[in-house]
Amino acid sequence: MEIKIFTFSPFQENTYVLYDETGEAIIIDAGCLFDAEKEELKAFIENNNLTLKRVINTHLHLDHQFGNKFLYDTFGIAPEANQKDEFLVDMYPVQTQTFGFENAGEAQPLKGYLEDDEKVVFGNTELRAIFVPGHSPGSLAYYSEKDNILFSGDVLFLESIGRTDLVGGDYATLIRSITERLFTLPDTTVVYPGHGDNTTIGYEKMNNPYL
């Protein structure tokens, strides 16, 4: 599996394009907000002859769904996420106004739901969804056992954890999600978070001041 990382919007959100030798691809958390960012993402897909199969979200805070409608309009692929976060699609206008992004466009409705332990398959690659609420009610992480990689969204960061003061957040739930669901993965698992630099499960066990 190949991973292309884009860092988009003033939130510095990490958008991931995953693809393999078949040319099939998925996008995790399309955070492209500005026209130049949208065109950069589109150009990467087209210039590498990728076939976009799915658009999936770790959660649906505004910075992680900025680009969902653009991808639907451009490629005809609607996003998928956990149903418990679907209310954040409806809240998108409120979210964008609250953070001062009145020109952020419209939200794209979900085409389907992803559940705990569900498989996301593209080409010869498989990810497994892990339900990790706390940052948001429907937060998911995506794990590739074969590649020893975890996409953690805004649940776990390098030496930090996701905020819990937004609608639906809960600190105790977040800590339980990390310790019971993510810290059971191999210590060598590389963690690709929703913001900031990569880390590993083992490093966070030893060095994360919140855990």
What is 122-181 written as a DSSP string? ETTEEEEEEE-TTSSTT-EEEEETTTTEEEEETSEETTEE----STT--HHHHHHHIIII
Query: Would the pLDDT of 67 be above 90?
Result: yes
Q: Taking each helix axis as running N to C, give the angle between helix 68-75 and helix 35-47, from 0 to 180 degrees, rounded to the nearest 10.
A: 50
Mean pLDDT, range 37-66, rounded to an integer: 98
Tokens 């409608």 -> residue:
69
Token pair in block for residue 101? 């992004």
Mean pLDDT, range 90-100, rounded to an integer: 91
Query: Would the pLDDT of 98 be above 90?
Result: no
CATH superfamily of 2-207: Ribonuclease Z/Hydroxyacylglutathione hydrolase-like (3.60.15.10)
Contacts of residue 48, Cβ cutoff 8 Å, sequence gap at least 6: 19, 23
User: pTM score, two decimals?
Assistant: 0.97
63 or 97: which carries more pLDDT confidence? 63
Q: How far is CA 118 from the centre of its chain?
A: 15
User: Domain map of the chain by residue range?
Assistant: 2-207
- Weakest-pLDDT range from 31-40, 75-84, 90-99, 194-203: 90-99
Mean pLDDT, range 50-71, rounded to an integer: 98
pLDDT tier at 102, thresholds 50, 70, 90: confident
Mean of per-residue pLDDT scores for the chain = 97
- CA R_g for the chain: 16
In 36-139, the DSSP E strands lie at: 51-56, 79-81, 112-113, 119-122, 125-131
Mean pLDDT, range 14-27, rounded to an integer: 98
